């Protein structure tokens, strides 16, 4: 009895100590740190002032979803096309596509969005801000999806291409009927990671004046004199992205298990 309880204590001692530390820290924060918690509640969690204003966030929320869906669609399309083109091993495509990937993997999203929105009008190309964000995000994440699709296509064995050729398929048929369906399985977990990144990066649209969540929150912050809308928006972002994060880590775990067995 005694030995087992000692063992238990040994096993969980670090957990216990951590728990006690956290508890002490919370007690300190709440009572002894001298922080003004009523101020915190009033400024950060003042949902009474937000009442009747939640509808303002509906259209920007839809806008964020729209930008993400469009950008994801275009990025996937770009990635798929370029990866297929690259798989034919033609020198010209090889060089240009690699250059594209390196260029857009290197450029910061913020810089590209600003460049597209503020520089293109000088050559008479006046894109609406939403479209310029969609365009930059598609180009940016197209580079990542190209790499993803390429590794997916590479993961299919060479033998299968030869087999499908010997069945009389041409290279396009082999790509469409044999390689891509198998590549999809490898490709989907990393694609969800791209989806997360796109969702997060849409927030950059704030800089070029797209009326999205942050912009609305900052407006409302000025009106009601409290940061609560900002907190609300960050929770909103969290709630949109978290399901995708969970889905993505599930898929990744499953694919890892699948590849190990």
Partner 1 sequence: MDELNIRDLPRIFFNMEIMEGQWSLLFSGLWVTLEIAVVSIVLSTFFGLLVALMRIGNNKLLNALLIAYLEFCRATPIIVALIVVYFGLPFLNVTFSPFASAVIVIVFIHAAYIGEAFRAGILAISKTQTEAARSLGMSRLQTLIYILIPQAFRLVLPSLANQWTGIIKDTAICTILAITELLKAAQIISTWKANPTPLVMSTLLYLIILIPLTVITMQLEKRRGLKK
Site residues, partner 1 (CB under 8 A): 11-12, 14-15, 18-19, 22, 36, 39-40, 43-44, 102-103, 105-112, 114-115, 118-119, 122-124, 196, 199-204, 206-207, 214, 218, 221, 226-227, 230-231, 233-234, 237-238, 241-242, 245-246
206-209 CB contacts, 8 Å cutoff, 24+ apart: 207/110, 207/113, 207/114, 208/113, 208/114, 208/117, 208/118, 208/129, 208/132, 208/133, 209/129
**Cβ distance to partner 1 smaller for residue 182 or 234:** 234
Residue 143 C-beta: closest distance to partner 1, Å: 10
Going 129 to 203 to 83 to 170, the CA torsion angle's sign is negative
**Cβ distance to partner 1 smaller for residue 187 or 231:** 231
**Cβ distance to partner 1 smaller for residue 164 or 228:** 228
Q: The tokens of 211 are what?
A: 């009326």
Residue 143: CB partners within 8 Å, gap ≥ 6? 100, 101, 103, 104, 105
Residue 257 C-beta: closest distance to partner 1, Å: 15
Q: DSSP string spanning 197-210?
A: HHHHHGGGGGGGT-
**Cβ distance to partner 1 smaller for residue 146 or 164:** 146
d(CA 217, CA 154): 45
Residue 214 C-beta: closest distance to partner 1, Å: 6
Residue given tokens 């409290």 in the structure block: 226
Phi, psi (deg, nearest 5) at residue 207: -70, -30
Residue 7 C-beta: closest distance to partner 1, Å: 13
CA dihedral 58, 62, 64, 68 (to 10 degrees): 160
Residue 67 C-beta: closest distance to partner 1, Å: 13
Residue 246 C-beta: closest distance to partner 1, Å: 8
**Cβ distance to partner 1 smaller for residue 38 or 170:** 38
Residue 66 C-beta: closest distance to partner 1, Å: 17
Q: What secondary structure letter does DSSP report for 178?
A: I
Q: The tokens of 17 are what?
A: 């100590």
**Cβ distance to partner 1 smaller for residue 81 or 240:** 240
**Cβ distance to partner 1 smaller for residue 174 or 217:** 217
Q: Are 86 and 150 in contact (CB under 8 A)?
A: yes
């Amino acid at each position: 009895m005694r030995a087992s309880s000692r063992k238990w204590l040994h096993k969980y001692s670090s957990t216990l100590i951590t728990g006690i530390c956290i508890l002490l820290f919370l007690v300190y924060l709440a009572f002894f740190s001298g922080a003004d918690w009523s101020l915190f509640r009033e400024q950060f969690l003042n949902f009474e002032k937000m009442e009747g204003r939640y509808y303002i966030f509906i259209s920007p929320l839809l806008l964020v979803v729209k930008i993400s869906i469009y950008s994801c669609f275009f990025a996937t399309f770009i990635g798929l096309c370029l990866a297929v083109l690259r798989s034919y091993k033609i020198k010209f495509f090889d060089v240009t596509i690699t250059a594209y990937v390196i260029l857009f993997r290197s450029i910061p999203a913020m810089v590209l969005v600003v460049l597209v929105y503020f520089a293109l009008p000088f050559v008479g190309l006046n894109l609406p801000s939403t479209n310029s964000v969609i365009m930059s995000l598609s180009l940016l994440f197209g580079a990542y999806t190209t790499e993803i699709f390429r590794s997916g296509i590479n993961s299919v064995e060479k033998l299968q291409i030869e087999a499908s050729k010997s069945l009389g398929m041409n290279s396009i048929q082999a790509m469409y009927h044999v390689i891509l369906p198998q590549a999809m399985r490898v490709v989907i977990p990393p694609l969800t990671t791209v989806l997360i990144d796109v969702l997060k990066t849409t927030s950059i649209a704030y800089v070029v004046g797209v009326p999205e969540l942050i912009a609305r929150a900052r407006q409302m912050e000025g009106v009601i004199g409290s940061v609560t809308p900002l907190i609300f928006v960050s929770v909103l972002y969290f709630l949109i992205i978290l399901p995708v994060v969970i889905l993505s880590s599930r898929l990744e775990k499953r694919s890892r298990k699948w590849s190990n067995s």
